[in-house]
Copies of this chain bind each other. A is one copy, B any other.
Amino acid sequence: MEIINIFYYLAVILIFAKVFGLIARKIGLPQVAGMVVAGVLIGLMGYLNDPDNFFLSFFIKPDAEEMDILHVFAQIGVVLILFSSGLETNLQDLKKSGGSAFLIALAGVIVPMFLGTVGTLLFMNGYSDFNSDKFLNAIFVGTILAATSVGITAETLKELGKLNGKVGQTIMSAAIIDDVIGIIALSIVTSLRSGGAAQIGMTLLRALGFFVFAIGVGILLRIYFKWEEHKFPHKRRTSIFAFGMCFLFAFVAEKFFGIASITGAYLAGIMLSGLDDTNFVDRKVIVSGYMIFTPIFFSYIGISADFSGFNISYLLFALTFVALGIIGKIIGCGLTAKPFGFTNKESVTVGCGMIARGEVALAVYSAGRSLIMPEGGIDPLVATIFLIVISSIVCPILLKLLFKDKKEGLPLEEKQQ
């Protein structure tokens, strides 16, 4: 380990990730996809390196400890993404369109998860030699299909000027809620590892325990932050203490309750949402994220990707995975929307609005990757990248076609380039 090398990795990753992110955006893909591709390229360049001659190397390959350090940065990146999502959650809006959106989101999690799990089991030679490790690997793959990308969904609806209509509002609420359900599902799946399916009661109990902790301690801290923002509005200390709370919740979730650390960060964000200084804090979180941690998160996924298992049969799996992920959302969300007073076309639109996947799918992947069987398992990373790229192309196209007739709401500017 050489500390000075870290500066090199940071420079290369930041520049590559941003350049490929911008290229992706240019050709109509989300930046996230470009950053993952940048990571894959950096990882491949690592194989071309000549350890004895820096100038003959395309990229110095990080040693094990240096990779650990990049991993820490990546973990902080994903924790910041979820903390920011939590901060931006509008609990009032959620309550309003809550009932229908909740059921739509729930169906949109269960159907793709079920389809993904069954599909993966079929690819792992079916039920004939069903066993617990296999099942965990398969249900983990299914869980990746759970969460819609709020970012991509919001961007598409903004571009179409449909963010504030009835359909748009329902899609947005359901997309936010399925993040929560997806993360809870991941927590349950991850903690199953330790004790098999019999542990499920214990796991739910621990999840409940963490929610009680998070809400209890969260309310006390919220009172403190309310006092602080009135006495010292817009001070650095508020953001720094909020950061501290985020990291503390992430730590406590995983250390004492066996729940994924991103769940802790997300709940920390929700507990601080809707305060006067919430936007102030969120801006600092976003800046700290995009300046260094989130590009590393997305690239790290690519850098650490293992393509050695890629072949025709994996390609078939990946395409099935993508198809199930898209069909599962349209069926699950669309059919559930129907009884809530949506027309047939509107129901299909709600379903199509939920198919985009993005950063949360990668977050779920990176939190649960230890569930992949070391031998004979299926690593869904490449399939997940396919899913993100394809779903974020397909989602805007379908929405544009379905929304073609009437306009509601106003397009907003986007300045994230």
> A332 → chain B, closest Cβ, in Å?
33
Chain B residues in 8 Å Cβ range of A290? 236, 240
Q: Would you give the 0/1 interface string for A280-316, flagging 1 where the beta carbon is closer than 8 Å to chain B? A: 0000110110111001000000000000000000000
Chain B residues in 8 Å Cβ range of A11? 244-245, 247-248, 251
Q: Would you give the 0/1 interface string for A397-417, flagging 1 where the beta carbon is closer than 8 Å to chain B? A: 000000000000000000111
Residue of B nearest to A65 (CB): B65
CA distance A61 to B146 in the complex (A): 38
Q: Would you give the 0/1 interface string for A1-38, flagging 1 where the beta carbon is closer than 8 Å to chain B? A: 10111111011101100100010000000000000000
Grouping DSSP codes into helix (H, G, I), strand (E, B) and loop, the A interface class, with mixed when no group exceeds half, is helix
Q: How many chain A residues touch the partner (CB < 8 A)? A: 52
Report yes or no: A232 in contact with B72, Cβ–Cβ below 8 A: no
Chain B residues in 8 Å Cβ range of A243? 10, 14, 291-292
Residue of B nearest to A5 (CB): B251
Contact of A417 among B71, B72, B232 (CB under 8 A): B232
Report yes or no: B72 in contact with A14, Cβ–Cβ below 8 A: no
CA distance A71 to B4 in the complex (A): 11
Report yes or no: A22 in contact with B237, Cβ–Cβ below 8 A: yes
Given contacts A18-B237, A22-B237, A417-B235, contact A248 B7 (CB under 8 A): yes
Which A residues contact B (CB, under 8 angstroms)?
1, 3-8, 10-12, 14-15, 18, 22, 54, 65, 68-69, 71-72, 75-76, 79, 232, 234-237, 239-241, 243-245, 247-248, 250-251, 254-255, 261, 284-285, 287-288, 290-292, 295, 415-417
